Structure formats: C-alpha cells, structure tokens
Amino acid sequence: MQAVKTKQRAIAEAESELIRLVRQTESVSRVELARQLSLAPSTVGLYVDRLVSEGFLQEGRKVASSAGRPPTILELNPEAGHFIGVDFEASQIAITSVDFSQQVLQQEVVRILASDSAAQVVKKIETGIEAIKNGSQLLGIGIGVPGVVDHQLGEAVHYEHITGWQHIPLVEHFSQQFDVPVYIENNIRAMALAEQWFGSARGVSDFVCLGIRSGIGAGVVIDGRLHTGQNGLAGEIGNWPCERLEDDSRELVPLERIASVWAILDQLAARMAAGEKTALSLKRNRVVLEDMLAAAEKQEPLVLDVLQSAASAVGRVIAQISLLLNPEKIIVAGPLAKLTDAFLEPIRQVVYPLSNTKHARAPRIVASEFGMHGGALGAAALAVHQWKPLR
C-alpha cells in the first residue's frame, strides 16, 4: 500500500510540474514537454491524456513544422476550476479569484475596523471568500498574512495592528471550512510572487519588492527563488534602524516610524495640529489617506515635505540593500507607489548616487502596477503553483 501511495505522489508531482511548464509558455507541445521534463514521450503522453480527460488541459492550435505532422499545442483549460487569494493588513482585506489559467475572475475589498478583533477579521475573510466563489470548483486558497508566519504550523504568528492577532491557525481553519488546500505567506512576499509571475519582475532573477502600507516589508527574490530566511523573518525591514532629526537631536528609530503610510499621516497630523499651514483638513484628528494622495498630486508643500523626508529614509535603506544583494530591480508597492514625482523620484535621487559604485549600477526603481490587489493576486498564484492533481 505504501509503495502505491509513493507512486501516486510521484505521478501527482510530475503532472503538476507538467502543468507549471504549460503555464510558463504560451505554446508548448508534448514533444517539448518530454524534452524539458527529461521523460519518455510515451510517459508524457499518458500524463497529458489523463489531464485532458479530466479537463485540466485542452488541445489547442497546431503549429507549423518543417517536416512531418505539425505538433498540437497544449493549453490550460480556464474552466477546470478556480483559486482564491487573500491579502490583508490593518485597514482592509483584498480578495481575488483567478481561473485555472490565472486570469482574474473577480476582486473584492472588505474594510477592517480599528475595533475588529482577530476573530472578527478571520470571519470577514471567510465571508469575503464565500462572496467571491464562482460556479467552478474551488481548487485552493492562498492567504497573504501581515507580520510573521509559521509555514510549518500554518499559523499567523503576530501582527500588532489587529487586536489579539497571535498564533492564528489559518491553514487549519480555512482548509476545514472550504475543504481545499490552503497556503499562507507573508503578504509582502506574496506581492513579490505577483510581480515575479505576472508583473514587472517576469524574467528577473534578482529583485526586491518593497511594500509600504501600515507597515513596511520586503519580498526578496534571489536567483529566482523567494528568500524567507532561517526563521521566516527575511524582509522584515520595518525595524531597520534609521536616523531621524528631532528637535536638533539625532535618534535611531525603526523605518516604519518614519516612512510607513501611518507614520506619514501621523506626521502630517502633528504638524497641522502645531499650526503649519496646508489646504488639508483633519478629520477626527487624523489625515485621510486619499486626501493626502490627492494633495501630493497637487504638490501641496507640507505634504511634499513630509513625503520627501520619508522617501529619503527609504532611499538610504534601499541603497544599503542594493550594496548587499545587488538586485536588478526594486519594485515599490502600496498606495505611495503611484506618487511618481512626490515619492518615487526622491527615492531614486537618494539611491542612485549611493549605489552607483565603480563596478556596479544602481537597481531600477519602479512602481508596482497591481495597486491594492497585488498581494491577493500573489496569494492566489501561490495556491495555483502549489496545486497538484489528486492521485
């Protein structure tokens, strides 16, 4: 019996690798699959026939051939099932569903209230997944989790911005709730996966995705692989010590206290409360993010000054990351990424002089194209690429 199970697992692994190869290219034949998998064409033919009969693959167009019968191209069947990706942080949950060919089907956003407990946030994720499920079979769920995750236990370990968020068994809970495989990853790493598989990092083997939201984190990809570190803490750069000038004295504070979205809004509110002039207005003693973004686009001086300070801190950290890892590209994700002149360009002005050493070039610094759904898309892709047919 054990030998049978071992053989079934090996077949499932081979077939999932075959499907991954089909995903990676727009045109692939059985012969090419056999070559890339180093398997006999007859073995690949058996796998393909079974996957076609089960509805996961479909035979598409024929391509021109110099001799003999033209090969038939294999394609993913988008109706074979769907996957759901979830990404959340302190203020909202983003949920995305994709079909078997990784095309987006539906996207939703659910607000998180400051008063929501961990149990209430889990319930909102549950409700959001139910709302976005469609008629085809649900095959897997990926969840991008803020803060620290324990992959072995399937737990979200800690996140300071949600009350009671300690050792939450997300994999166990959602796999029992929806009866599908569930995978978790730090949400900034999920953003990096989205960039690697769908975005501006396709074909880039060394890059860093820098997520700036309620906190700050980095998804680090080295030699095409996501780097998690010994204890899964790689990329937790929100705690990177940065120098800040405060009342003519210098102090070291975590990067998040200078350049996270919440830190920027707090700094604006404090300076406005101190009487500095601006067209912005406080609402319940807070600056609303959307108002700040609009003011930055209009080049509001106070907003530009606060953003410049944050961008300088981020730029110095990126320069150090660049000297350490020598990435080809830095991708900035989060609501500030859309502020090219007010935020990205000041970052570049700090990074390029510090990183252009005698024998190296600074990385390209670009904005993510995915907006608020980048992490959810990456989480869905995590489930897609981990999926295996049942054998």
Ramachandran region, residue 38 (left: φ > 0; alpha: ψ -120 to 50; beta: rest): left
- Locate 377 and state its tokens: 């898309």
Burial code of 239-253, b = ≥16 C-beta within 10 A, e = fewer?
Answer: ebebebeeeeeeeeb
Count of CB atoms within 10 A of residue 16's CB? 16
Burial zone of 171 (CB within 10 Å; 0-12 exposed, 13-18 middle, 19+ buried): buried
Quick one: average pLDDT of 48-72? 75
pTM of this structure: 0.84
Taking only Cα atoms into account, the Rg of the chain, rounded to an integer number of angstroms, comes to 23
Q: What's the confidence (pLDDT) of residue 147?
A: 85
- Among residues 93, 147, 110, 375, the alpha carbon closest in space to that of 256 is found at 147
Q: Which of 60-69, 141-150, 225-234, 237-246 has the lowest mean pLDDT?
A: 60-69
Tell whether the model's pLDDT for residue 66 goes beyond 70: no
State which of 8-17, 37-46, 309-318 shows the largest mean pLDDT: 309-318
pLDDT (0 to 100) of residue 251 = 86
d(CA 76, CA 26): 10
Question: What is the residue-averaged pLDDT of the chain?
Answer: 90
Each residue's pLDDT tens digit, 154-186: 999 999 889 999 999 999 999 999 999 999 999
- Residue 97 above 70 pLDDT? yes
Angular region, 156: left φ>0, alpha ψ -120 to 50, beta rest = beta
> Which two tokens mark 255?
């990067």
DSSP state of 147: S
pLDDT at 139 exceeding the cut of 90: yes
Max distance between CA atoms of the chain, in angstroms, equals 81
CA separation for the pair 334, 123 (Å, rounded): 25
Question: Is the pLDDT at 265 greater than 60, yes or no?
Answer: yes
Task: Say yes or no to pLDDT of 189 above 70.
Answer: yes
**pLDDT surpasses 90 at 371:** no
Binning pLDDT at 50, 70 and 90, where does residue 144 land?
A: very high
Task: Name the token pair of 336.
Answer: 């500030």
Q: How far is CA 85 from the centre of its chain?
A: 10
- Tokens matching residue 142: 């990926």
Q: Considering the chain, what percentage of its residues have pLDDT values greater than 90?
A: 68
Say which CATH superfamily domain 81-197+374-386 falls into. ATPase, nucleotide binding domain (3.30.420.40)
DSSP symbols for 241-259: EEEEEETTEEEEEETHHHH
pLDDT at residue 212 in the model: 96
From CA 281, how far away is CA 313, in angstroms rounded? 26
Strand, helix or coil for residue 186: strand
Sorting pLDDT into bands at 50, 70 and 90, what band is 123?
Answer: very high
pLDDT given for residue 250 in this prediction: 79
3-class SS of residue 309: helix
pLDDT by residue (tens digit) across 293-324?
999 999 999 999 999 999 999 999 999 999 89
- CATH class of the domain comprising 207-369: alpha beta
Q: 301-325 and 289-297 helices cross at what angle (nearest 10)?
A: 90
Nearest alpha-carbon partner for 311 in 298, 296, 323, 326:
296
Q: Could you state, in order of their start, the residue ranges of all structural domains in the chain?
A: 2-76, 81-197+374-386, 207-369
Return the pLDDT at 25.
Answer: 79
14: pLDDT strictly greater than 70? yes
What is the pLDDT at residue 69? 58
Predicted local confidence at residue 35, as pLDDT:
92
Task: Tell me if 2-76 shares its fold with 207-369.
Answer: no
Q: So what CATH class is 2-76?
A: mainly alpha
